[in-house]
């Protein structure tokens, strides 16, 4: 039995949760093989509906409650991850958070207590996914510990202009495949790319 924690239920985590539950319902991932827990402390807002996996009748509900009511199959926690004891009972943490402060806590805890993580990120047209590496020192190179900002998976300029990007769903899909790889004991590797637009490149 693998205990899995999805940390964050926003633009990435809300879709990732549905992907996992769908495969469990279809029997591709046996219910008896994993426990799924999802943690987030935010409520659904109208502004979330354009790029997160929520519906208009879920506005005002806690995101984790909305997902559990609609999808089922998950244990929910309406809380922030602020200390190691919040995650050490899990074997694999799927990181879908919006800031490096929580990422650092998860990185450190996983390396200290021999837990696994997959860090799944997107912002605008950029996607970045990182499986746990050989050391905290190596993995922490992908953290900016001076930056305490909470970032959306959408760029503010895109939100202002109504140009919603799809890359958060791409990141969730890649994270889901990396999750399947982990269950199937297939090695994962860092993924980092940007979906370019604009002028065509000359060949």
pLDDT in tens, 116-160: 999 999 999 999 999 999 999 999 999 998 888 888 999 999 999
Structural domain contains residue 25: yes
Is pTM beyond 0.85? Reply is: yes
Query: CA–CA separation, 122 vs 190, rounded Å?
Result: 14
Overall number of domains in the chain: 1
pLDDT band at 202 (very low <50, low <70, confident <90, very high): low
Strand order in the sheet with 2-7: 75-77, 34-39, 2-7, 92-95, 116-123, 126-131, 191-194
Per the structure, the complete domain to which residue 24 belongs is given by: 2-194
Take residue 186 and report the two structure tokens written for it: 């297939």
Q: Are 7 and 87 in contact (CB under 8 A)?
A: yes
pLDDT band at 78 (very low <50, low <70, confident <90, very high): confident
- Encode pLDDT of 185-199 as tens digits: 999 999 999 998 766
Average pLDDT over residues 16-39: 94
Query: CA–CA separation, 177 vs 65, rounded Å?
Result: 25
Structural domain contains residue 37: yes
CATH of the domain at 147: 3.40.50.720
Average pLDDT over residues 26-53: 94
Query: CA–CA separation, 83 vs 16, rounded Å?
Result: 24
Structural domain contains residue 61: yes
Structural domain contains residue 201: no
Query: CA–CA separation, 43 vs 60, rounded Å?
Result: 6
Q: For the stretch 56-80, what's the b/e string if a residue is b when 16 or more beta carbons lie within 10 angstroms of its beta carbon? A: eebeeebbbbbbbeebebbebbeee
What local confidence, expressed as pLDDT, does residue 148 receive? 83
- Encode pLDDT of 84-101 as tens digits: 999 999 999 999 999 999
Cβ contacts of residue 174 below 8 Å, gap of 6+? 120, 127, 129, 191
- Encode pLDDT of 151-194 as tens digits: 899 999 999 998 999 999 999 999 999 999 999 999 999 999 99
Residue with tokens 């093989």: 33
Structural domain contains residue 15: yes
pLDDT band at 80 (very low <50, low <70, confident <90, very high): confident
Structural domain contains residue 203: no
pLDDT band at 73 (very low <50, low <70, confident <90, very high): confident
Query: CA–CA separation, 175 vs 189, rounded Å?
Result: 11
Q: How many CB atoms lie within 10 A of CB 123?
A: 20
């Amino acid at each position: 039995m693998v205990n899995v924690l999805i940390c964050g239920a926003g633009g990435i985590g809300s879709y990732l949760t549905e992907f996992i539950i769908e495969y469990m319902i279809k029997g591709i991932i046996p219910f008896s093989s994993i426990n799924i827990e999802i943690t987030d402390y935010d409520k659904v807002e109208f502004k979330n509906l354009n790029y997160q996996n929520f519906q208009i009748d879920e506005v005002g509900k806690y995101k984790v409650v909305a997902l559990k009511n609609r999808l089922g199959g998950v244990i929910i926690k309406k809380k922030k991850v602020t200390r190691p004891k919040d995650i050490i009972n899990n074997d694999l943490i799927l990181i879908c958070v919006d800031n490096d402060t929580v990422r650092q806590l998860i990185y450190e805890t996983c390396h200290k207590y021999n837990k696994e993580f997959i860090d799944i990120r997107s912002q605008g047209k950029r996607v970045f996914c990182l499986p746990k590496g050989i050391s905290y020192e190596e993995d922490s190179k992908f953290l900016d510990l001076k930056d305490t900002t909470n970032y959306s998976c959408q760029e503010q300029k895109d939100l202002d202009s109504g140009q919603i990007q799809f890359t958060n769903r791409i990141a969730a899909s890649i994270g889901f495949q990396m999750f399947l790889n982990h269950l199937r004991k297939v090695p994962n590797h860092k993924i980092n790319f940007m979906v370019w637009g604009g002028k065509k490149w000359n060949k």
